[in-house]
Amino acid sequence: MTDDQQTPDVRELGLEPGDLDGHTLEELSDYLDAGRRPLDPSIEGSPGCQLALDALDRLRGLGGQLIEADAAAMPEVDDSWVDRILTGIALDARAGRRIPFVEEEPAVDFGITEGAVRGLIRSAENAVPGILVGRSTLDGDVTVVGSPVRIAIEVNAVYGESIPKAVEMLRSEVARRLQQHTDLTVTGIDVTVRDVQRIGDTRGERS
């Protein structure tokens, strides 16, 4: 992505300085552009920065193709879907609530952050062709082990792929990853397709 395409978005996401350990998404984007060189220990050692870097890197794959297609198709690019994805990345970087693991030993207290779980959900897009995850939310009291939690995910899809099939693949992959890496009691996973984008066509569709 070029600076013109992303700078207005990443500067208006409302991140607090502590979310990325003093860094910004704009800085992280520049860091990726430079091939993560020279190595910055403050970025490489920050969990929030790592979540954001992984998501930005994935966005540059399929997302880069979508942006190029939009730019070729229209005189003015509608970046609303990019905004939503970047906003989701910003949310991933925020630690949010602490989600405990089930522990048999009373003295043992392990947990994972809500942001890390959102990053886990986002990473599931790697297993689903033609899907980019925007924002995800965890509805329920995740701070109490065993409480019912419902997952809501917004996605961007590529025109030409089977959307019902892609949604079901994403739902299954997210369920698998959450079961493997968390002790959340997930009662449902809702996936909403917010945009449908064309690649290599002069027309664009929005849902």
What are the sequence ranges of the domains in the chain?
Answer: 3-206
pLDDT at 117 over 90: yes
55 has a pLDDT exceeding 50: yes
Secondary structure (H, E, C), 96-164: CCEEECCCCCCCCCCEEEHHHHHHHHHHHHHHCCCEEEEEEEEECCCCCCCCEEEEEEEEEEEECECHH
pLDDT-based confidence at residue 106 (cuts at 50, 70, 90) = confident
What span, in angstroms and rounded, lies between the C-alpha atoms of 71 and 110? 47
Most confident of 31-40, 47-56, 183-192: 183-192
* CATH of the domain spanning 3-206, picked from 1.10.1740.10, 2.40.128.280, 3.30.70.1350, 3.30.565.10: 3.30.70.1350
* Position 9 pLDDT exceeds 50: no
Query: pLDDT value at position 24?
Result: 84
pLDDT of 60 strictly over 70: yes
Q: Whose CA is closest to 96, among 139, 60, 153, 125?
A: 139
CA distance 138 to 144: 13
pTM summary value: 0.70
Which band of pLDDT confidence, cut at 50, 70 and 90, is reported for residue 3? very low
pLDDT of residue 186: 97
- Is the pLDDT assigned to residue 23 strictly greater than 70? yes
pLDDT value, residue 61: 67
Asked if the model's pLDDT at residue 168 lies above 90, the reply is: yes
